[in-house]
Structure 1
């Protein structure tokens, strides 16, 4: 779904404008969605989320069981158990914390539990680095989770609400993660519109409990051994649910727009209709990509930008249509695809989708600073043929492939 298809709609719900960091915007959205169990272990840069949620619970603003566990592995274990019993749940993590959760991430998928998790993204160690790139969330792509990437505090707030509605839909019953830039979004104060009446969020995303797996009146065993005769069929149900969730994601996003006046689509586009060059990226970098596209337009180059928002399920058909007219697709990735044909994970996805060469570059690894001039210079190298397709270059790396 493109930006052009997302016509403005009249706001149904009265809202007020406030200023919050991305982390606190996520915490507020979670509070308004009223999870019944929160399991949390702090890790930079997401710590303010779980701190704020603890504050909400302590002050009586949120009626939830808050479990301060001893590790991220336990956090995911706790929300798996709570979700299986029918509770709406939430947890948040980053980087090494996600790694500690890893054993349990596919279990949430196989048990079809609609857990919602936030992620202020952060690169992996070593060397130790607490700053933001998308290495962590990109490592989740093959697990079966729904994966959103938000650009701003406003979008993170809105997407958390949408994620509950999508994950808990009886056609889906899968966990979802809402990722956003560590520091550049998580810690930056931004304006956002929130409902004046918090009850509106629960009216939009009520708890249905359609996914209950543990019920004393209907005993069942969860996590049993899946023998070769049955394992594939059980997992394939999750495969099909993730594929079919795309329709639900679009439906929920459209309805959210009718309620709150904002919708985002599976991805966003900027001036791509006639573009010969499209710069593709994700997260907060989209603002710079749009600025570069506008600058190139002023110089006579038909340039556009595209931001990936939902990367699982992968919107391949829609992306193929959106990019079919572009002569050159230039993907700026913010995570490393180690040992792959292209070192940019989204460049690899788009090359497979489009079935033609794409231009690939890495940027902001370890939260290396970047500005629009650097992206502009990289775009010129693509336009002038100084960078070849189907190779991965670097933007801002000393001694890198530039």
Structure 2
């Protein structure tokens, strides 16, 4: 039977990991994800899990250890943030190309420089093309639920890819919220035992991991990765449907909020979605028909599905908590505009960069954006690039 509790997002992820009981965890501390391996070490020390915890000298080493463990047939996990994720860069591609279903808790934090320890999405968005599945969490409940579902997605026979479950540093990772957690045996039965199939320690079936691939083979390996990624959306929905049966909580590729008759839509990721939902409610009280589409699955990107969800609105604000330095906007903006184009939807979409380094998103910002969207919907002029929200000139 599910039970109510109060805990931080980091504690919620650590609890999910205790219930999953992975074979190996390798981690190096970095703010604001440090608490996850810290909590988990207590579970190891108290005999509450059978996990082999590997204290390493760097994040590069933690991913190396996870790759070795996963290739050997173990269920492996790690946690990191910001520069720690950047230090893994080379190995993120190795894990994905070797088709290893490693899970990683990413507690989003701005990348240096200048040095900043607060939330934005520059770390995980920088890794968006590394071949990892990416799922984002709005709140502590979602951080817990997403991690319980993570291995069922990544270990699926049609996927076999690593997965990162992301939440916003400090905003959810350290804030205490009421959540509902499942019983240990319910999670254990839902996740199931890991059956790796091909692995290095299977002496009955010799197997190579990460071989050198010359031109006649490399292209096909990448094509196979792309094919596996194309299966992820269906698997995410399949797993979510099963998870709803045991939890009562429903998940999809994204969440639509007050979109039934919306004329203006905000497309956004993670914790700020809660802020925008609240402000949209206030705008509705003023007669402004606004709605929110909160993206949960970013990799692979559900472009066709998002375009369909937005097909009837007059204008869109695409909210990015990361700057791509492309002079065209952020990563979510680029992906969504591409999706609208490929679905032949001529809907004006303005890209807004907000919240870098933990900057607050305020009610006055949303009011200003809605005013700009109303003007955008009535104009035939080309969209003039992208805009920064809440930055001092």
Residue equivalent to 1:11: none
- Aligned partners of 1:83 and 1:212 also within 8 Å: no
TM-score by length of 1: 0.93
Give me the whole-angstrom Cα distance separating, in 1, the residues matched to 2:312 and 2:359.
32
Task: Tell me which of 199, 208, 218 is aligned to 2:185.
Answer: 199
Task: Tell me which of 346, 360, 374 is aligned to 1:383.
Answer: 374
Give me the whole-angstrom Cα distance separating, in 2, the residues matched to 1:283 and 1:260.
21
- The alignment status of 1:213 with 2:204, answered yes or no, reads no
- Aligned partners of 2:134 and 2:297 also within 8 Å: yes
Residue equivalent to 2:351: 360
- Aligned partners of 2:317 and 2:369 also within 8 Å: no
CA root-mean-square deviation: 1.4
- The alignment status of 1:125 with 2:95, answered yes or no, reads no
User: Moved runs in structure 1, 4+ residues, more than 6 A?
Assistant: none
Give me the whole-angstrom Cα distance separating, in 2, the residues matched to 1:344 and 1:383.
22
SS in 1 for 2:66: helix
Residue equivalent to 2:332: 346
User: Per-residue displacement from partner, 1:116-159 (whole Å, max 9, x unpaired)?
Assistant: 00011001101111111000111121111110000011101010
Task: Tell me which of 74, 77, 86 is aligned to 1:87.
Answer: 74
User: Per-residue displacement from partner, 1:80-108 (whole Å, max 9, x unpaired)?
Assistant: 01011111111011110011101110111
Shift in Å, 1:212: 3.5
Task: Tell me which of 145, 165, 171 is aligned to 2:152.
Answer: 165
SS in 1 for 2:179: strand
Shift in Å, 1:210: 3.1
Higher mean alpha-carbon deviation, 295-304 vs 281-290, is at: 295-304
User: Per-residue displacement from partner, 1:320-368 (whole Å, max 9, x unpaired)?
Assistant: 110000110111110111124x222111111000014411111110001
Residue equivalent to 1:371: 362
- Report the count of equivalent residues: 384
Residue equivalent to 2:392: 398
- Aligned partners of 2:316 and 2:373 also within 8 Å: no
Residue equivalent to 1:336: 323
User: Per-residue displacement from partner, 1:299-319 (whole Å, max 9, x unpaired)?
Assistant: 222211110100111111111
Residue equivalent to 2:58: 71
Give me the whole-angstrom Cα distance separating, in 2, the residues matched to 1:154 and 1:86.
30
Higher mean alpha-carbon deviation, 158-167 vs 377-386, is at: 377-386
Task: Tell me which of 249, 261, 264 is aligned to 2:251.
Answer: 264
Task: Tell me which of 212, 215, 224 is aligned to 1:237.
Answer: 224
User: Per-residue displacement from partner, 1:34-87 (whole Å, max 9, x unpaired)?
Assistant: 101000000000000110011110111111100000000000000001011111
Give me the whole-angstrom Cα distance separating, in 2, the residues matched to 1:388 and 1:68.
54
Q: What does 1:144-183 align with in structure 2 at a 5 Å threshold?
A: 144-183=131-170
Task: Tell me which of 188, 195, 210 is aligned to 2:175.
Answer: 188
Higher relative contact order (CA 8 A, sep 6+): 1
Q: Relative to structure 1, is the Cα distance of residues 388 and 367 closer, same or farther in structure 2, using a 3 angstrom cutoff?
A: farther
- The alignment status of 1:277 with 2:264, answered yes or no, reads yes
Give me the whole-angstrom Cα distance separating, in 2, the residues matched to 1:282 and 1:389.
22
TM-score by length of 2: 0.95
SS in 1 for 2:78: strand
Q: Relative to structure 1, is the Cα distance of residues 208 and 62 closer, same or farther in structure 2, using a 3 angstrom cutoff?
A: closer
User: Per-residue displacement from partner, 1:7-30 (whole Å, max 9, x unpaired)?
Assistant: xxxxxxx11100010001011111
Give me the whole-angstrom Cα distance separating, in 2, the residues matched to 1:42 and 1:211.
32
User: Per-residue displacement from partner, 1:369-399 (whole Å, max 9, x unpaired)?
Assistant: 2222322222222223499735211111010
Give me the whole-angstrom Cα distance separating, in 2, the residues matched to 1:329 and 1:390.
14
- Aligned partners of 1:291 and 1:372 also within 8 Å: no
